[in-house]
């Protein structure tokens, strides 16, 4: 059997042996170049060529980072003086205008959103019934005065009757004594004595009755028969009734209680019956406004009355008002609820409460007009710096205690 290992593979196919030996060499080189190309590419990617403009970025970052940290820490420690809240609104005095008498509306003197001054006429009621009532009240004063004068006359007449009755008592008393003497001498009869006794008793009873009537008249004259009519209670009552009628007549003309702007005017029309104490329209004050804010209870730690406040109104973002903290409510808004929370029963969830706070607002001339209900943002300068964090103060405090 021929030796396979010594056979020339190219001889069987008629191929030159030299070419056969050169082919594997070129393939190996190509294969080696193919394998080395990714390694060179990876090496190039791993070591990119550094641009000249980026050489200073890394050192600059190392320099700026401590400065930024120090600056941020400084502003953190020195900051925290401003308490800001958006839960704030403009408030103003708002009065629902009404009258304490009932009547039919005769005239409405103002229009919607019209500015009025204190004392300007808003509307009028039909005053005819009230003028008639005033006339009756004046007449009643005259009637009372006449009745009191008549009582005074009756008192004087009764005094005269009492005096006459006392004279009669004396007369019948003497008659009774005379009849007794005549009876003893058997000149008068028993019937004459009894008649004299009856007349004397009747005279005494008449005096007593007249005295009672006199006392009654004196009582009707307030215990003083010589009292001035103007000081008598009945006369004073009649005058008060007259004044009440005059007051009601005056209240048929309803005037503005303060300066401001009238609203809800169309709800009142001539010919409408307006019941007493019914709000006819409203007047909103324009010269006295304040801010009602409702910050969280956690934001009120350093809030005190008198602190400066900067106010920004959403309607006028380029304007700023100034004011001061006027007062802080003693209770949260939920404390005044009709059904306050019952935290002692059922499942309880802690909710941060809001405490109403009032800000006195400065309204200098030249500022845009403010209207009740506008949304604002307030910034209260509490003057309290945030300071170092608790863990740092505790650490420094512990170190200082340890050194001591």
Tell me the pTM. Answer: 0.64
Quote the CA–CA distance of 380 and 311 in Å, as a whole number.
Answer: 9
- Among candidate residues 355, 376, 357, the one with its CA nearest the CA of residue 306: 357
Class of CATH domain 129-247: mainly alpha
Distance CA 197, CA 203 (A): 10
Residue written as token pair 């009734």? 241
Convert the pLDDT of each residue in 85-104 to its tens digit: 999 999 999 999 999 999 99
Residues of the chain with CATH 1.20.120: 129-247
Per-residue model confidence (pLDDT) at position 345:
67
What pLDDT does residue 26 have? 46
pLDDT the model gives residue 265: 94
State the pLDDT confidence band at 315, using cuts at 50, 70 and 90: very high
Mean pLDDT of 170-179: 87
pLDDT, mean of residues 267-296: 92
> Which contacts qualify for 67-70: CB closer than 8 Å, 24 or more apart?
none
Residue 344 has pLDDT above 80, yes or no: no
Please indicate whether residue 271 or residue 179 has the higher confidence score (pLDDT): 271
Residue 255's pLDDT is what?
Answer: 95
Comparison of pLDDT for 65 and 110, the residue scoring more:
110
User: Which one has a higher pLDDT value, 389 or 316?
Assistant: 316
pLDDT digits (tens, 9 = 90+) for 356-399: 999 999 888 888 989 999 999 999 998 877 666 665 666 655 44
At residue 50 the predicted structure's pLDDT band, cuts being 50, 70 and 90, is low
Which tokens hold the place of 300?
A: 């009120």
Specify the fold of 94-124+251-281: OB fold (Dihydrolipoamide Acetyltransferase, E2P) (2.40.50)
Report how far apart, in Å, the C-alpha atoms of 118 and of each of 108, 257, 283, 324 are. Answer: 17, 6, 10, 28
Q: Where does the pLDDT of residue 66 fall: very low under 50, low under 70, confident under 90, or very high at 90 and above?
A: confident
Residues of the chain with pLDDT > 70, as a percent, come to: 79
Give residue 318's Cα distance to chain centre: 29
Band the pLDDT of 52: cuts 50, 70, 90. Answer: low
Q: Which residue has the higher pLDDT, 35 or 196?
A: 196
Region(s) of the chain under CATH 2.40.50.100: 94-124+251-281
- The answer to whether residues 88 and 376 touch, using CB atoms and an 8 Å cutoff, is yes
User: pLDDT at residue 108 above 50?
Assistant: yes
Tell me the average pLDDT across 71-88: 76
**Cβ atoms 385, 81 nearer than 8 A:** yes
The structure tokens listed for 327 are: 């007062």
N- to C-terminal Cα separation, the chain: 106
Query: What fold characterizes domain 81-93+287-338+347-403?
Result: Elongation Factor Tu (Ef-tu); domain 3 (2.40.30)
């Amino acid at each position: 059997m021929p030796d396979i290992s010594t056979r020339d593979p190219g001889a069987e196919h008629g191929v030159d042996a030299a070419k056969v030996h050169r082919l594997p060499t070129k393939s190996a080189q190509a294969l080696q170049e193919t394998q080395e190309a990714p390694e060179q590419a990876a090496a190039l990617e791993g070591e990119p060529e550094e641009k000249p403009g980026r050489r200073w970025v890394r050192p600059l970052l190392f320099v700026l980072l401590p400065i930024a940290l120090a600056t941020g820490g400084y502003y953190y420690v020195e900051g925290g003086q401003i308490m800001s809240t958006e839960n704030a609104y403009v408030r103003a005095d708002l009065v629902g205008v009404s009258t304490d008498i009932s009547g039919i509306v005769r005239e409405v003197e103002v229009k919607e959103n019209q500015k009025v001054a204190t004392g300007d006429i808003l509307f009028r009621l039909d005053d005819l019934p009230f003028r008639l009532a005033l006339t009756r009240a004046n007449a009643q004063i005259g009637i009372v005065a006449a009745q009191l004068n008549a009582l005074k006359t009756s008192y004087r007449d009764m005094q005269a009757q009492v005096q006459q009755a006392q004279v009669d008592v004396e007369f019948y008393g003497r008659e009774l004594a005379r009849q007794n003497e005549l009876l003893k001498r058997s000149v008068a009869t028993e019937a004459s004595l009894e008649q004299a006794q009856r007349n004397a008793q009747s005279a005494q009873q008449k005096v007593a009755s007249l005295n009672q009537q006199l006392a009654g008249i004196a009582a009707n004259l307030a215990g003083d028969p010589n009292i001035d009519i103007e000081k008598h209670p009945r006369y004073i009552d009649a005058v008060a009734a007259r004044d009440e009628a005059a007051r009601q007549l005056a209240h048929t003309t309803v005037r503005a209680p303060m300066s401001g702007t009238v609203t809800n005017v169309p709800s009142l029309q001539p010919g409408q019956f307006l019941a007493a104490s019914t709000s006819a329209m409203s007047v909103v004050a324009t010269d006295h406004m304040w801010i009602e804010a409702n910050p969280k209870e956690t934001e009120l730690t350093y809030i005190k009355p008198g602190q400066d406040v900067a106010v920004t109104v959403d309607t006028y973002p380029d304007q700023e008002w100034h004011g001061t903290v006027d007062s802080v409510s003693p209770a949260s808004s939920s404390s005044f609820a009709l059904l306050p929370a019952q935290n002692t029963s059922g499942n309880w969830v802690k909710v941060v409460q809001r405490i109403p706070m009032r800000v006195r607002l400065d309204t200098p001339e030249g500022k845009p007009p403010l209207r009740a209900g506008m949304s604002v943002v307030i910034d209260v300068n509490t003057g309290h710096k945030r300071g170092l964090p608790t863990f740092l103060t505790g650490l420094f405090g512990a170190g200082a205690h340890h050194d001591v």
